[in-house]
Chains A and B, each alone.
Chain A
Amino acid sequence: MLFQISEKMLRVLKAWTEPRIATKDVVKEPAHKSPIFRGRHVVRYDICTGCDACNKICPVDAIKMKPLPLKRPNKIPEVNLAICIFCGLCEDVCPTKPEKAIKLAGGDIEMITDGTHNALDNFWVRVEVPEEWIEQKKREEEEKARKRAEMMAKKKAEAEAKKKAEAAKATENKEAPENKGEEK
């Protein structure tokens, strides 16, 4: 009996030597964080292709595509975090390689609003696309378009030239027998 009691007392006393666990500020640093924790999205406008796959698969329609004045990407996703359920399906379907243009894994866990209706309305992952980038991209695109147009023109010209040449040849050929005939 006495032994049992002292055994139990010992066990309780042992608790004093246990390390104090609550030394972490869990608001700043979570007790456990997995490297693939599905948190706040990161959208990379520079590799997104605007393919709309993430928007189509999202089971709760949390994604809205923001139009861009470009050909590719012509739109990029923005996520309404008040609706999103952090399922990660958008990341799964995103076709860009090797890095995904929309990514939750390893994302931010600090997502706190003050919870008012207005705050929820503004609880979005917005993508700020710098003007210069758009301008540059536009220029690149124009360049490309011009090049393509040039190429096309060139090709067309070549094709026409070829046609002409062929036609000329044909007439020559046509003429040739006549000539021959005449010669005969």
Chain B
Amino acid sequence: MEKIKEVLNKFDMEYVEDYKPTWVKAKLKNKDDITKVVEALKEIGVRSCSTVSPTDYPEENRMEINYFLEDIENKKNVWLKVDIERDLEKCEIDSITPILESADYHELESYSTFGVKFKGHPNLRYFLISADYYGKFPFRKDFDWDEHEKNVIENVNKISEEFFEEYEENEETMGHEGSRTVLHWGPTHPASGPIRLKVYTNGENIEKVEPDIGYVWRALEKLAERKDFIGTIVAVERICFMDNTNPMICYAQAVEEIAGKEITPFAKYMRVILGELGRTVSHLISLGGFFGTMGLQTFLMWCLDVREYFLDVLEDYSGARIATACIEPGGVRYPLNDYKAWFAEIDKAIEKWESVKPDIEDIFLKNPLMTVRAKDIGIFTKDDVIDNYLQGPIARASNVKTDVRLDEPYAAYGELKMDYVTCENGDTRDRLYIIYKEINQSIDLMKQAMKKIEEGIEAGEMDPKKDHLVKMPRRMPEGEAVSRVEWARGEMLMHLVTMPKSTNPYRLKLKAPSVNHTRMLEKLLPNHTLSDIPLLYGSMHICQGDLDR
């Protein structure tokens, strides 16, 4: 910490201050210094860029860029701000991608949504939005959505025509050298989900891959600005339907921090249970989906069967199975009227999982065919993980000890017993094993939290019928907060900005892990064959919902 501050203080800063135990917050005066600062920080170990988040202030004619930089190994993070001008011609800053490559896609995103030009970016292009996007830069405060919509409806045929042209066959013969073809993998491939990979192949060898994303872009960050503080939960929970609860925890924490409210211990433990339920539900799909990408759907069906039991639990608590909307600022949304019955339901789901575990291990995890295909390919080293900022299970499969639940304990994780679960090799098979291990860890955490709640109720310290919510102010004070949770697929970070006496968020940046994982495909897939794409892709556990947002 001290070292980081020392380095930052060498530059011309408006302020350098501590923020939470693991963050240093600083504001740079001169935007031309940015590359030098980042270089200096990289030298002392801050090697990963979590995200880049601009905030638009039209009245003051400035755009504030927030960089979130992390030192994964030593758990020290830097929140660096810098102001730039807002006018489109002058809205530019030096790119940090040449120094920290994990900033790549995040800078592209800021460029496409806010129009911030990053000078020196290796390939600055429109991302998420298409090149002919009417009006440009949809997250700026003065963007006219009605006008945009009108234009799209008028020109829809022209737009789709261009899209078809791009899909036309593209082949080049090279005599005895083979032939070069551009293949479009997805967006309708059974294993792909709504993403398109442009795969440049020579024969069946992959030479280059370009992900084309944005098929499920819903502009959630902008959508949140139109809703009130409670209504925003339905926007953030739609980041991805698989792990539905954790994004709401992240958002609720940010709001509570700005309002200066502390939630009850009961709500904290409930958040642990609900968060782990979300993680389990998501991991069960990942686990089955891994085999699904190899063409074996049986295991997927098994996993979905177990998942139903966990969804029953969510339904019993919140009244919905997938989009639960069950966590709101101030605690958790519903009281637990009959906690014994609900815990019994959880136990039933856990029992179901335990009953299929021996078969899963025998038939699938030790499966010789899977081992042949997945062992020792697609290995990520520790440096790969840190430089490209791979997160969550992917990082832990490569034996990198990172987990927000332990690094920056939130909810009640600080009071529970847990440790980093890791695998040794970081190959494709390990990225399957880690998921299996994490489900078991989640179930252990759920059991611990249930026990704590039971003890609390018996001791008369918790009241499950009343303690679920604390009252939140109707209007928020001015403020800014960063909140992180360990989501099923990695670190989720939200940056919330509010105005004085506001009823809705001024800016909500959602950062989700699939962005970096998709970027990693560019490096992972070349030099493999076409038949490896589904497997390697499946092993990254990418979800387009959180990739596009």
Contact = CB atoms under 8 A, between A and B. Distances in A.
Interface of A: 31-32, 34, 36-38, 57-60, 85-89, 92, 104-105
B320 A86 contact: yes
What is the predominant secondary structure among interface residues of chain B facing chain A? Answer: loop
B314 to A, nearest CB: 9
A37 B319 contact: yes
A88 B325 contact: yes
Contacts of A60: 234
B235 interface: yes
Nearest to B337: A36
A69 B544 CA distance: 49
B248 to A, nearest CB: 12
Contact of A59 (B231, B320, B333): B231
A38 B234 contact: no
Interface of B: 227-228, 230-232, 234-235, 308, 312, 315-316, 318-320, 323, 325, 333-334
Given A58-B231, A104-B319, 4 more contacts: A36-B318, A37-B319, A57-B230, A89-B231
Nearest to B333: A92
Contacts of B227: 59
Contacts of A57: 228, 230-231
A131 B163 CA distance: 56
A87 B325 contact: yes
A37 B334 CA distance: 13
Contacts of B325: 87-89
A134 B446 CA distance: 53
Contacts of B333: 92
Given A32-B312, A37-B315, A86 B231 contact: no
A127 to B, nearest CB: 22
A30 to B, nearest CB: 10
Ranked nearest first, the 7 interchain pairs of A and B with the lowest CB-CB distance are: A59-B231, A38-B319, A36-B319, A34-B315, A34-B316, A32-B312, A87-B325
A60 B323 CA distance: 14
Query: Which of B228, B231, B234, B319 counts the most A-chain CB atoms under 10 A from its CB?
Result: B319
Contacts of B320: 37-38, 86, 88
Contacts of A105: 319
A87 B318 CA distance: 10
What is the predominant secondary structure among interface residues of chain A facing chain B? Answer: loop
27 contacts: A31-B308, A32-B308, A32-B312, A34-B315, A37-B315, A37-B320, A38-B318, A57-B228, A57-B230, A58-B231, A59-B227, A59-B231, A59-B234, A59-B235, A85-B234, A85-B323, A86-B320, A86-B323, A87-B325, A88-B319, A88-B320, A88-B325, A89-B230, A89-B234, A89-B325, A104-B319, A105-B319
A87 B334 CA distance: 13
B221 to A, nearest CB: 15
A34 B234 CA distance: 21
A58 B226 CA distance: 12
Contacts of A58: 231
B131 to A, nearest CB: 30
A32 B315 contact: yes
Query: Which of A60, A86, A87 counts the most B-chain CB atoms under 10 A from its CB?
Result: A87
A31 B309 CA distance: 11
A31 B311 CA distance: 12
A141 to B, nearest CB: 32
B315 A87 contact: no
A92 B320 CA distance: 15
Query: Which of A31, A58, A89 counts the most B-chain CB atoms under 10 A from its CB?
Result: A89
A88 B233 CA distance: 12
Contacts of B231: 57-59, 89
Contacts of B318: 36, 38
Contacts of B316: 34, 36
Contact of B319 (A32, A34, A85): A34
B228 A87 contact: no
A34 B317 CA distance: 8
A59 B224 CA distance: 10
A58 B231 CA distance: 7
A181 B33 CA distance: 99
Contacts of A87: 234, 323, 325
Contacts of A37: 315, 319-320
Contacts of A104: 319
A34 B312 CA distance: 8
B520 to A, nearest CB: 33
Nearest to A57: B231
A146 to B, nearest CB: 39
Contacts of B319: 34, 36-38, 88, 104-105
B62 to A, nearest CB: 30
A104 B325 CA distance: 14
A98 to B, nearest CB: 15
Contacts of A85: 234, 323
B335 to A, nearest CB: 11
Nearest to A56: B228
Contacts of A34: 312, 315-316, 319
A59 B235 CA distance: 9
Query: Which of B228, B320, B323 counts the most A-chain CB atoms under 10 A from its CB?
Result: B320
A59 B220 CA distance: 13
A43 B235 CA distance: 25
Contacts of B308: 31-32
B281 to A, nearest CB: 15
